[in-house]
Structure formats: structure tokens, C-alpha cells
Chains A and B, each alone.
Chain A
């Protein structure tokens, strides 16, 4: 899809729409393309980590580094697919899948104690000690019926989402 001055063809738009399972309307995809080109300053066809971090609102987000590993080097089609979890048309299932992907560092669909600890670290920074973090997480896990060795999967996160645990 090239550089800033090239336009998206109707065919391109439909391809992207299909790839993201119709999460966005065609108009939204055109707007996202403008945004993608705006972020992709050197015109390389993908937005680098540096270019994402030049958006101050993104750079101050505690999960920005984690998201960057997922975002780095995506082309436009993949960029739209990445954002599809945030579309108003996204299903709850899709949103939860995305959350699990953020947690699951080795991509095997299972979230370990260490994965959860890492994300908690991102969210709390230096304001809770490593030891305290482990303590809190273990305690809350056990109260919810899990153990330190438990591997959480999609269905657990669905329960989480509905605040059952």
C-alpha cells in the first residue's frame, strides 16, 4: 500500500475489511489508512516502534512496551486487524482474545503466573515491591480458586470479564 500519496483502491479496502472480519466500515478503513500514513513518517509501509512512541499519549501508557512487541513491523492490513478488538462492532469474545494475547508472552494460549506478574509490574511500576506483587497475586488467585501453578485460558478470562471471579 506504499507511501502517503498513494490512494487505497476499492480492492485494497475490501481485502483489509475481510482480513479484520468486517470490524470496520470502509469509511473507517480509509480514515485508519490516513492515520497509518501519518504515523509512518518514513514511508516504509509499516510503523516502527519509534514512530508509535512519538505519540505522547501512547508513550505514557503503562502497557506501551508490551503493545509495541505486538505492533512493531505490522503493515496496514495487520494494523487494522490489531485494532479490530477496539471497534464498536467487536464481540466480547474478540476483546477477551485480545487481552489474552497481551498477557500470553509465549503465544501458546495459556497465561502463566509469571505472565500475570509481568503485566502487573507494567501497571504498578516501582510502587509495589516484587515480593508484594507476588503476595497480592497469589492471595487473590487462591481466593478465586486457582493456584500459583494454574494456567489461565480463554474461559477463565471470560469469567474474569463478567466479574465472576
Chain B
């Protein structure tokens, strides 16, 4: 959106470029109302067209909503030859693949539980052995999950080594991100506490790999969580932490701002980039549209989940960098690797309104320019 001299409405080509998000044009905050110099006149006070143009631009397209739009694969079954083929595909997927996968998953759970429960109860005294066995078992059940979606996962880069004071961060598309990564190496994770069967899993099995819970809606929670994060990362025997700094699931085409919590712990940050291949299935868990159960069922009735995982070079806080700059630098590294477009929004805006200070900044700069020009008379 651009406004010329005197606040005229000059529609730029991006104004109604309705198919593309104008991320490059977006400039956060600052004065939106152009400031010509000189004596204050009626037109300066009353011409609201720049502000209106901005509002209309946001209504028509905005870079935040784009991040959470599901992008299912293009339908290709639209003609008379392909449609029967697609129907065969549906039959195979739902009536053959799906039952097989359910069986595989059930077998996996039986094996897992029959090993896990005894280990958990009987090996109480032998901490080290118990931990190692539980970790191996969790890796096993994750492999079963991945097999149940016919997951084809390409891991690139050196496998992460387990060292203390190391934290892993990754971009977030769905809760299956955790399962995919856990399959390869044991991580401790920090998660939003969910209701239902997921919550049950979280409190029983995930406890064994080490988990930290938080609640998005509780403001005070942040301090306790930061403390727990710090304690965990310092501990020698704990699984390395896996953190998703976006704080919410994004649609694997964009990345939202990283929260700085993970970057203030004084640890080495190992970035991981995850990119799903959309041709097979859209792995984005749109939590506003689907429950996790529906999401899993959708994955289990698709052909495959194909994705690439890159373990990237560990990064440290540079002496002249703030944690926020560090977070943005790591976000840049991950976004470039996974082909994600960066967006200057906080993912939590999905759940709450922006803070009034953004609007107040605009109001303040306009007010100040009015008062200043008044004195120039």
C-alpha cells in the first residue's frame, strides 16, 4: 500500500494482487500517515485516505492469515479418465492401506506397552538402565507411528550428538513433527498441555523422555516455564530439549516470529528444518479446523507422508547479539533451508488480539506531527 504526497490514494500493483501475499511490502509499524511539512491545514487533519487504504489492504489480504491457510494438494481427478483412477485410489487407501496401518499401529502399541509397563514398574531402582530402555521404547513407538502413515523421511546432515547445554529448535507444522524427530533420536520436548487421549499420553509416556508443560493462556506461566527450561538444559543426564519457537503450528510455507525463550538459555542452538512434500498430503495440522485425531486419521488414509529433515549447523549467541536477533538469525537459517517465507508476526496472535501498543504507536506519531506543525505557524 503506498500513499503519495498529500495523502492521495495511489493504488500500487500489490494492492489488489489478491493471489499473492504482499509480505515484501509489509513494513512493521512506523508512521503510516505521510508527513508533508509546513503549516497545518484542514486537509492534513481530515484526509484519512492513507489509514483507510491500509485497513482495506488488511481486509483484502494480510500476511498473518496466509500462514495458517491449509493448502491441500491440487485436485487432479477432474476428468473422465482420471476420475475412476482416483476412485480406485480411494478404495485402496481406505479399504486396504488404512486397515493394514491400523493393524501395524496396534501391534506397535501392544509391543510398546508390554515392554514399557514392566520396565517402568520393575526397574525403579536402576535409574540409568530404566531411562535408556524407556527412551529406546519411545523411539520404537514413534517408528511405528511413522510406519502407520508410510512415512518416507529423508534425514540430512549429521545426526545430533547428545551433549549437555544443547537445545534443538525446529519449525512447526503439526504435532507429528515431534514424532518424526523422536524416531531418530530421543528428545525432551516442551508442549502445550492438551485434553483427551493426547493429554494422557503426554502425562504418562512422554514423562519418561522428559517433558515440560505450559499453558498458553496463563501469563504467569512464562516465568515458571523459563525456569524449568533452564534447569532441564543444564542437567547432564536429561534428553536434549526440542523446542518449537514459533509456538504454534504454521502451514509449512511460512514461518512466524520465533519466541526468544529458547535463545536466552545460554546453550548452543542446533536448528532443524522440516519440510513436508505437499504432493502426497498436506501435513499442516490446522488446529482451528481439525482435532488431532481427525488429523491423524487423515494422514493414515493418505498415500504417504514424505518429508525432509535437515539437521543444521549448531549456532551460538554472538557477543554483539541480543537473544531476539539470535532468534531471528536462526529463523532465517531454518527458513532458507526449508524454503519458508518469513513473516513478521507473532504466532500467538492466532489466539489473541495484538497488543494496543501497535495502534498507540501510530496514534502517537500522528499526534506528535500535528502538534509539531501547529507550532510551526
Contacts and interface: CB of A to CB of B under 8 A. Distances in A.
Contact of A60 (B49, B65, B354, B367): B354
Nearest to B359: A60
Interface residues of B, number: 53
B16 A58 contact: no
A50 B364 CA distance: 25
A31 B238 CA distance: 51
Contact of B46 (A61, A85, A116, A139): A116
Given A55-B64, A61-B359, A163 B49 contact: no
Nearest to A31: B18
Interface string A123-165: 1111110001000110111011010000000000100110101
Contacts of A41: 288
Interface string A29-64: 001101100110100000000001111111111111
B184 interface: no
Interface in B103-128: none
A60 B362 contact: yes
B367 to A, nearest CB: 4
Contact of B64 (A56, A123, A125): A56
A102 interface: yes
Contact of A160 (B47, B349, B362): B47
Given A31-B18, A32-B18, A125 B52 contact: no
A137 B48 contact: no
B58 interface: yes
Given A141-B42, A161-B47, A86 B363 contact: no
A127 B61 contact: no
A99 B48 contact: yes
B208 interface: no
Contact of A62 (B16, B43, B61, B362): B362
Contact of B43 (A60, A123, A160): A160
Interface string B56-91: 111111111100010000000000000000000000
Nearest to B364: A127
A41 B69 CA distance: 11
Contact of B60 (A83, A127, A163): A83
Nearest to B351: A54
A56 B48 contact: no
Contacts of A88: 11, 15-16
B244 to A, nearest CB: 20
Main secondary structure of the interface of B (DSSP, over half): helix
Contacts of A57: 26, 54, 57-58, 62-64
A119 interface: yes
In the complex, which of the residues A41, A54, A98, A141 has the most CB atoms of chain B within 10 Å of its own CB atom? A54
B45 interface: yes
A67 B43 CA distance: 21
A86 B42 contact: no
A128 B42 contact: no
Interface residues of A, number: 56
B234 interface: no
Nearest to B349: A56
B157 interface: no
A156 to B, nearest CB: 9
A28 interface: yes
Given A31-B19, A116-B46, A125 B54 contact: no
A105 interface: no
Interface string B352-377: 01100011101110111011001000
A102 B48 contact: yes
Contacts of B63: 57
Contacts of A157: 46
Interface in A60-92: 60-64, 67, 71, 83, 85-88
Contacts of B54: 57, 61
Given A35-B18, A86-B53, A165-B41, A52 B59 contact: yes
Interface of B: 6, 8-9, 11, 15-16, 18-19, 26, 33, 40-49, 51-65, 69, 288, 345, 349, 353-354, 358-360, 362-364, 366-368, 370-371, 374
Interface of A: 28, 31-32, 34-35, 38-39, 41, 52-64, 67, 71, 83, 85-88, 95, 98-99, 102-103, 116, 119-120, 123-128, 132, 136-137, 139-141, 143-144, 146, 157, 160-161, 163, 165
5 contacts: A86-B15, A86-B52, A88-B16, A124-B367, A127-B360
Given A57-B63, A123-B48, 13 more contacts: A59-B359, A86-B56, A98-B52, A102-B52, A123-B33, A123-B366, A124-B363, A124-B367, A125-B363, A127-B364, A128-B370, A136-B45, A146-B42
